[in-house]
């Protein structure tokens, strides 16, 4: 049995970073409304985030790794427990932005919370948890 699953949108699956190659040691699930999507053996296709969660019900953890549309659905999903958010120091010309998460989520302490640097780029990975409903 695989210990975790990753759910991603079709554009993320086809992106240069993933390039239609399954990420190792986890169940790969591509979320797409396309019915003609061809994926390698072992990769699952789901028509929605809910369908992807059903396909991953026997794994310990499921991670939504992109894209923007799937993130927006996941942020609003009742089963979302944590967001692992990478904050990069700097300003970038981007056409997709993460919505303001502060209303619904708060920072949660965890072992991976640290300031890091890679190739001169400073960043932190934060874990956010859903605020209790009032």
pLDDT digits (tens, 9 = 90+) for 68-87: 999 999 999 999 999 999 98
Split at pLDDT 50, 70, 90, the class of 57 is very high
| Spatial CB neighbours of 122, under 8 Å, sequence gap ≥ 6 | 88, 89, 90, 115, 116
Quick one: pLDDT at residue 6? 97
Split at pLDDT 50, 70, 90, the class of 94 is confident
Quick one: pLDDT at residue 134? 53
Q: What is the residue-averaged pLDDT of the chain?
A: 92
Could you tell me if 65 and 6 are in contact, meaning their C-beta atoms sit under 8 angstroms apart? yes
Percent of the chain with pLDDT over 90: 78
Please, what are the domains in the chain? Answer: 1-80 (3.40.430.10), 82-134 (no CATH)
């Amino acid at each position: 049995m695989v210990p975790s699953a990753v759910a991603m949108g079709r554009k993320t699956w086809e992106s240069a970073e993933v390039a239609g190659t399954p990420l190792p040691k986890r169940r790969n699930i591509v979320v797409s409304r396309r019915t003609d999507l061809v994926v390698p053996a072992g990769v699952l296709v789901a028509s929605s985030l809910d369908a992807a969660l059903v396909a991953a019900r026997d794994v310990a953890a499921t991670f939504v790794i992109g894209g923007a549309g799937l993130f927006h659905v996941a942020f609003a999903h009742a089963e979302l427990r944590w967001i692992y958010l990478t904050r990069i120091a700097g300003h970038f010309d981007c056409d997709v932005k993460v919505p303001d998460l502060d209303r619904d989520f708060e920072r949660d302490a965890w072992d991976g919370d640290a300031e890091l640097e890679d190739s001169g780029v400073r960043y932190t990975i934060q874990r956010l948890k859903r605020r209790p409903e009032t």
